[in-house]
Amino acid sequence: MSVKPEAASALFAGRFALATLSTPDGPAFPALVTADARVLDLRAAFGDEHLTVRSLLADWDTALGRLSALAADDGPGDGPLADFRVHAPVEPRQVFQSGANYRQHVIDLHVAHLDPADDRPEEERRAEAAEIMDRRAAGDLPYVFIGLPSAITGPYDDVVLPAWAEKPDWELELAAVIGRPAHRVSVEEALDHVAGYTIANDLTDRATVFRRDMPQIGTDWLRSKNAPGFTPLGPWLVPAESVTDPGDLRLVLRLNGESMQDESTKDMIFDVARLVSYASQSAELLPGDLVLTGSPAGNGMHWGRLLRDGDVMDASVTGLGAQRTRCVAEVTR
């Protein structure tokens, strides 16, 4: 699917963002993209032919100043943005995913994933879920699990729906990108370790979330979330300094032009700082790693309409740009 990036006036917040681009016949390279759609190949600017966005993040304190200076220079770029293919902006080593982190979304899922033995009215089950969410926000811990980097694909790439996926669903999310190693950091310190933000669509096959053969084991995130291409990412990595408030961003996902998700990150139960801090208590978060912050209400299970061949998803987050991906059924022999 050939998709051109957004118009320059709607690229992203701030003066510049990072991207990973390529020409039709060349390798991917780290790029600085300016608000007026100039592209600068950072390999030349930094004098390193092996440079990647992840290696920039490994020395983020130094890199940020140099990137700001490059963005302020009005010199010519390396060609118009429309001439380049846009890839996922960063290749993480680790992907930390937050589940059940939007109040209304969790309430909807609580109702949708109905235990056959639960014959209570929907209103009663919704009230129960709302009470649980209030308790979690007041004193519980986030729910974070691990995803695979191999599930990541570009923001305009086709998404292949595996033949075995019976109920593939969308999950638009705000993703925080780590810029400084974080291990056992406090909530107050956590955002100092975030280099910037990008868009993720964390697809899930609802039919395989729970193990039917071993219900006592619980969720199976490997099977349900980690097919190749199940995490469209990008298009841009927008520096944190350009995002005024990650706790007040609008997330919108349209399916074939129809609005499905339209919510604010205000509905998050645990904010970015609490998620990063929590994950860092067990693991060391490394430069380039992603912390996906959960998805708001409006998934396919809520609408009774799951993804199928030919569907087009348009997803946007305030100040971070937009992605467009088309669903393609897997061709099996």
pLDDT value at 271 more than 70: yes
Mean pLDDT, rounded, of the chain: 92
Q: Strands (DSSP E) along 104-255, which ranges?
A: 143-147, 152-153, 159-161, 168-169, 172-178, 194-201, 204-205, 231-232, 238-239, 250-255
Count how many residues are written for the chain: 333
Interacting residues of 313 by C-beta distance below 8 A, sequence separation 6+:
159, 170, 201, 232, 253, 254, 255, 307, 323, 324, 325, 326, 327
User: Residue 2: which pLDDT band, with cuts at 50, 70 and 90?
Assistant: very low
pLDDT at position 133 is 79
Q: Enumerate the domain spans of the chain.
A: 8-86, 95-329
Q: Which of 118-127, 130-139, 181-190 has the highest mean pLDDT?
A: 181-190
Average pLDDT over residues 24-37: 93
Distance CA 191, CA 22 (A): 31
User: Residue 7: which pLDDT band, with cuts at 50, 70 and 90?
Assistant: very low
Question: What's the pTM?
Answer: 0.92
pLDDT value at 1 more than 70: no
Could you report the per-residue pLDDT of 183-226, keeping only the tens digit for each? 999 999 999 999 999 999 999 999 999 988 888 888 999 999 99
Average pLDDT over residues 93-112: 86
Could you report the per-residue pLDDT of 173-184, keeping only the tens digit for each? 999 999 999 999
Q: Say if CB 101 and CB 142 are below 8 A apart.
A: yes
Average pLDDT over residues 54-72: 96
Assigned architecture for domain 95-329 = Alpha-Beta Complex (3.90)
Average pLDDT over residues 267-282: 97
Distance CA 328, CA 246 (A): 32
pLDDT at position 4 is 55
